[in-house]
């Protein structure tokens, strides 16, 4: 009944190419990139994937994006390979890719590695870890999170990195659960919206972004409990992505309240979390509230000067601005908080009851280094 009985996975990396395979029968839920240019694996899934799945195959090192008809054929070959080995229909295979855009996939190599992966599938920690590591690109650490309540288990494996930029970095996440509950589709979509879609700035979608959830539906779950645990698991993975944003040394949450609407709150949160000037200030440990105020101002939200702005960390809470008035004497505490590795920026707009949040990370020398070298 547990996931360790129904999920078997593994992953192997050879040079820049990694292949991860997860085998589990269940209903599949998916959210894909909103980028108008969709990678071949996304197009393949949209055209072929049914409601139930038997297996997932993922490669890292090449996004198979912007690769035209040839890319689509190769995406299909990846899926056909796994469908044959699992002796299932092509509609029961989900695929994903991450890596460089605009280069044809070496699908023979992926299949070659895939064969080895299939020989070593298993349900243990080491198997989950191997899968998580195989799908990494510039990630510095594998991203795995778990929840367990009653007999329900949820396992999440993700890759992120590059999310620091308000643009393309591919994020992939794979959720596995033995749960069955009402409204699962909606719960899944809302959890994605409240987690992965909050890691930095709108438009932050690569050609490949994909979140899958496979549910074996063996154990009945209370929908509210399931929602709560799934959301918190996804948020944990999302924060890991921010922390592992390319070159990042710190993660910061922007929590906005008192907005005219939830949309406005989200606009403000994303503008602040996505501002290069705020990100560099966080890197420098500089409580530069002027940059935060400016970002609030250009967010597009309905705001005025009557803003309350606080920083919260392990050192305490520093009130930088109180209803539009700059608070003297809070700078020392603010500087201490800004040196911490997890910072919360609390913004009250005093305009209504709208709330929202976003998760950002700092912009560092390593980001520039990594992205000026990462090659086509």
Query: 13 to 42, contacts with a copy of itself by CB under 8 A?
Result: 34-38
Q: Taking CB under 8 A as the rule, does residue 305 contact a copy of itself?
A: yes
Q: Taking CB under 8 A as the rule, does residue 293 contact a copy of itself?
A: yes
Question: HSE of 258 in the Cβ direction (CA atoms, 13 Å)?
Answer: 14
Residue at token pair 């796994």: 82
Cβ-contact 43, 210 below 8 angstroms: no
By CB under 8 A, the count of residues binding a copy of itself is 72
25, 72, 88, 100: residue in contact with a copy of itself (rule CB under 8 A): 100
- Phi, psi at residue 331, to the nearest 5°? -65, -35
Cβ-contact 323, 350 below 8 angstroms: yes
The nearest distance, CB 13 to a copy of itself, in angstroms, is: 21
52, 288, 336, 340: residue in contact with a copy of itself (rule CB under 8 A): 288
Cross-strand bridge partners of residue 157: 144, 174
Q: Taking CB under 8 A as the rule, does residue 165 contact a copy of itself?
A: yes
> Could you tell me the two tokens for 71?
């890319």
- From 17, 170, 210, 364, active-site residue: 170
- Quick one: which of 221, 213, 149 has its CA closest to 182? 221
Burial of 302 (0-12, 13-18, 19+ CB in 10 A): middle
* 39 or 179: CB nearest a copy of itself: 39
Burial call 158-184: b when 16+ CB within 10 Å, e when fewer: bbbbbbbbbebbbbbbbbbbbbbbeeb
Q: Taking CB under 8 A as the rule, does residue 249 contact a copy of itself?
A: no
Q: Enumerate residues 6+ apart whose C-beta is below 8 A from 163.
A: 169, 171, 199, 200, 204, 241, 242, 245, 246, 361
Q: Taking CB under 8 A as the rule, does residue 212 contact a copy of itself?
A: no
* 89 or 323: CB nearest a copy of itself: 323
116, 203, 224, 339: residue in contact with a copy of itself (rule CB under 8 A): 203
Q: Taking CB under 8 A as the rule, does residue 289 contact a copy of itself?
A: yes
Of the listed pieces 82-90, 152-160, 204-212, 353-361, which binds a copy of itself according to CB under 8 A? 204-212
Cβ-contact 245, 140 below 8 angstroms: no
| Active-site residue, 17 included | no
* 23 or 199: CB nearest a copy of itself: 199
Q: What is the DSSP letter of 199?
A: B
The nearest distance, CB 67 to a copy of itself, in angstroms, is: 8
291, 310, 346, 361: residue in contact with a copy of itself (rule CB under 8 A): 291
151, 183, 300, 316: residue in contact with a copy of itself (rule CB under 8 A): 300
Q: Taking CB under 8 A as the rule, does residue 157 contact a copy of itself?
A: no
- In the region spanning residues 312 to 341, those forming contacts with a copy of itself, defined by CB under 8 A, are 321, 324-326, 331
Burial of 270 (0-12, 13-18, 19+ CB in 10 A): buried
Whole-number Å distance between alpha carbons of 88 and 85: 8
Q: Taking CB under 8 A as the rule, does residue 347 contact a copy of itself?
A: no
Categorise residue 200: left if φ over 0, alpha if ψ from -120 to 50, beta otherwise: left
Q: Taking CB under 8 A as the rule, does residue 72 contact a copy of itself?
A: no
Q: Taking CB under 8 A as the rule, does residue 299 contact a copy of itself?
A: yes
- In the region spanning residues 124 to 143, those forming contacts with a copy of itself, defined by CB under 8 A, are none
Q: Taking CB under 8 A as the rule, does residue 101 contact a copy of itself?
A: yes
List residues with catalytic annotation: 170
């Amino acid at each position: 009944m547990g996931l360790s009985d129904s999920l078997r996975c593994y992953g192997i990396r050879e040079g820049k190419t990694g292949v991860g395979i997860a085998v589990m029968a269940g209903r599949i839920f998916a959210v894909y990139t909103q980028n108008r240019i969709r990678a071949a694996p996304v197009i393949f899934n949209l055209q072929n994937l049914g409601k139930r799945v038997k297996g997932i195959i993922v490669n890292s090192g090449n996004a198979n994006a912007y690769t035209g008809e040839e890319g689509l054929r190769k995406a299909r070959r990846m899926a056909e390979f796994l469908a044959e080995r699992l002796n299932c229909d092509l509609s029961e295979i989900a695929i994903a890719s991450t890596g460089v855009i605009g280069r044809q996939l070496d699908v023979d190599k992926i299949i070659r590695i895939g064969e080895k992966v299939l020989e070593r599938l298993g349900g243990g920690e080491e198997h989950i870890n191997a899968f998580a590591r195989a799908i990494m690109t510039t990630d510095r650490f594998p991203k795995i999170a778990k929840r367990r309540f009653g007999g329900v288990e949820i396992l999440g494996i993700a890759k992120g990195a590059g999310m620091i930029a308000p643009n393309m970095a591919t994020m992939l996440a794979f959720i596995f659960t033995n749960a069955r509950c009402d409204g699962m589709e909606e719960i899944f979509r809302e959890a994605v919206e409240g987690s992965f879609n909050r890691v930095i700035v709108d438009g932050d979608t690569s050609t490949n972004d994909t979140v899958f959830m496979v549910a074996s539906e063996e154990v009945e779950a209370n929908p509210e409990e399931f929602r709560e645990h799934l959301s918190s698991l996804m948020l944990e993975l999302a924060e890991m992505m921010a922390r592992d944003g390319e070159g990042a040394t710190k993660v910061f949450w922007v929590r906005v309240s008192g907005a005219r609407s939830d949309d406005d709150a989200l606009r403000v949160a994303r503008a602040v979390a996505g501002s290069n000037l705020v990100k560099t200030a966080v890197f420098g440990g500089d409580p530069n509230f002027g940059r935060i105020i400016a970002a609030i101002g250009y967010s597009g939200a309905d705001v005025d000067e009557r803003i309350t702005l606080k920083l919260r960390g392990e050192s305490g809470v520093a009130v930088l601005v109180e209803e539009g008035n700059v608070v003297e004497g809070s700078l020392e505490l603010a500087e201490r908080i800004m040196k911490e590795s997890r910072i919360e920026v609390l913004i009250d707009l005093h305009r209504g009851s709208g709330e929202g949040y976003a998760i950002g990370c700092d912009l560092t020398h390593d980001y520039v280094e990594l992205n000026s070298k990462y090659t086509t």
